[in-house]
Amino acid sequence: MSAYATEEMAEDELTILDVESAILSGRIAQIQRDDPRGTRYLVEGVAADRRIAVAVVGRFAARRRYLIITVYRLQGKE
């Protein structure tokens, strides 16, 4: 998880469990191929409480690791 993602997670009062839940319960809502650093995936899911909608943006990095770039609450989907 990037430092920026950690900051955004805290700012939106989300926990690592919320991020994990969003990825595991979510779906790929968008694939962004225009970044020269690699394809980004926007995953939309729900937080651990099953009420808060969460977006997680990430990309596959070296050695098949998934780097979480940013995390945020989805407004209007709660």
Residue 74 phi, psi dihedral angles, 5° rounding: -90, 115
What percent of the chain shows pLDDT beyond 90?
A: 86
Residue 15 phi, psi dihedral angles, 5° rounding: -115, 170
Asked whether 18 and 74 are in contact (CB, 8 A), the reply is: no
- Give the whole-angstrom CA distance, residue 51 versus residue 59: 26
| Burial class of residue 64, CB neighbours in 10 A (0-12, 13-18, 19+) | exposed
> pLDDT tens digits for 30-68?
999 999 999 999 999 999 999 999 999 999 987 789 999
